[in-house]
């Protein structure tokens, strides 16, 4: 079983839609959690950290469920510019990346 698992997608949604991604992790001792974004043929960049109480940054909301060992990312009012691959990252001594979920927002 992979340490961090994501549905690879692709998720194809119209502009303005709300979309949610989930990510599960296997190590209950994992300490920190992040979402990164990777545009085509570019390097990954931090989108947001994920806190135990959940956190929001504009149209983006991240949540953590330690009991079920998953984290989620919700994107509201999708924009064309949100099209990218979203990487779930879990730290257990070192950072472990998921395979990513691809989002394609259509006009």
96 sits near other proteins (criterion: CB under 8 A): yes
Confirm or reject binding of residue 26 to other proteins (CB under 8 A).
Answer: no
As a whole number of angstroms, the longest Cα–Cα distance in the chain is 42
Residue 62 tokens read as 């991240």
User: Does residue 29 bind other proteins (CB under 8 A)?
Assistant: no
Closest contact distance (angstroms) between CB of 105 and other proteins is 19
Do 62 and 9 meet the contact criterion of CB atoms below 8 Å apart?
Answer: no
Distance CA 16, CA 42 (A): 25
Q: Which residues contact other proteins by CB under 8 A?
A: 31-32, 34, 42-46, 49, 87, 91, 93-100
């Amino acid at each position: 079983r992979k340490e961090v698992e994501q549905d690879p997608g692709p998720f194809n949604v119209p502009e303005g839609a709300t979309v949610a991604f989930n990510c599960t992790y296997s190590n209950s001792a994992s300490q920190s959690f992040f979402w990164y974004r990777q545009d085509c043929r570019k390097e990954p960049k931090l989108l947001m950290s994920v806190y135990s109480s959940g956190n929001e940054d504009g149209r983006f909301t991240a949540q953590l469920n330690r009991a079920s060992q998953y984290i989620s990312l919700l994107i509201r009012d999708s924009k064309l510019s949100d099209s990218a691959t979203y990487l779930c990252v879990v730290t257990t001594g070192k950072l472990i990346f998921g395979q990513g979920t691809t989002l394609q927002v259509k006009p």
